[in-house]
Amino acid sequence: MRTMRRALLLPVCVSLAACTTAPTSVGDRPKVSPGDLEQITALLKRDFRPRGQATMDRIELDEVQRLCNLHADNPPADLARPLEEAQLKAIPFPSGNLIGDWKNGEKIAQSGRGAMWSDKPGVQDGGSCYNCHQISPKVAAFGTIGPSLAGYGKTRGNRPEIQRYVYGKIYNSKAYNACSPMPRLGHSKTLNEQQIKDLVGLLLDPASPVNQ
């Protein structure tokens, strides 16, 4: 599909005169300074207003966001590493078995609700997981922004270390990759402990459709 679409863009450019005179690239990410971050944050504070559960504190950058914005999501290792370690230390890993109910996990993964100003807080929030990932091989509507998770538990098993890794990654992806595109579902209080355990179950439980 992707190659087909690219091949078709060329004939469009040949027929539209505009394509031959317009710039070929506007450059990707601009360089951003700490002053820029201050300017943007001040602008957002002025231009936005709180609504529902989306309060203005959401505009303040935390140290992860500062680092990633300043370094175009590619910070030097000596800055990224300590941040990852600090994020990892802050994850409240539950004790014991981390594999919850995969059936509930599938519902959470499918749900795109949660944390928006249009959402009632307290009503079952989801992780929007299918927005970016393929998860159960039976589900055709999945995104491709993140890697496919089909067969995840089948190839990795479900011993405690893997359970801990999956739990941690869902709770706070930045603990493993400082500028990961993935939201920090636990850290942002979008999902609670049981919901994350249910997602761990979705990925690791041998009975889960993910591992069939």
Residues that bind another protein (CB under 8 A): 2, 4-5, 8-9, 11-13, 15-16, 18-19, 21-30, 32, 36, 40-41, 43-44, 47-51, 54-56, 58-59, 61, 64-65, 68-69, 72-73, 115-118, 130-132, 141-145, 174, 181, 183-184, 188-190
Q: Where are the alpha helices (DSSP H) in 59-159?
A: 63-70, 77-89, 102-110, 129-132, 152-156
Residue whose CB is less far from another protein, 46 or 159:
46
Minimum CB–partner distance for residue 59 and another protein (Å): 6
Residue from 171, 160, 170, 187 nearest 98 by CA: 160
Minimum CB–partner distance for residue 158 and another protein (Å): 28
- The string of DSSP codes covering 152-168 is HHHHH---HHHHHHHHH
CA 166/CA 157 separation, integer angstroms: 12
Minimum CB–partner distance for residue 181 and another protein (Å): 6
Minimum CB–partner distance for residue 21 and another protein (Å): 6
Reduced to 3 states (helix: H, G, I; strand: E, B; else coil), residue 42 is: helix
Minimum CB–partner distance for residue 6 and another protein (Å): 8
Residue whose CB is less far from another protein, 16 or 207:
16
Residue whose CB is less far from another protein, 43 or 207:
43
Structure-block tokens of residue 157: 């098993």
Residue whose CB is less far from another protein, 60 or 85:
60
Query: What residues contact 42, with CB distance under 8 A and at least 6 apart?
Result: none
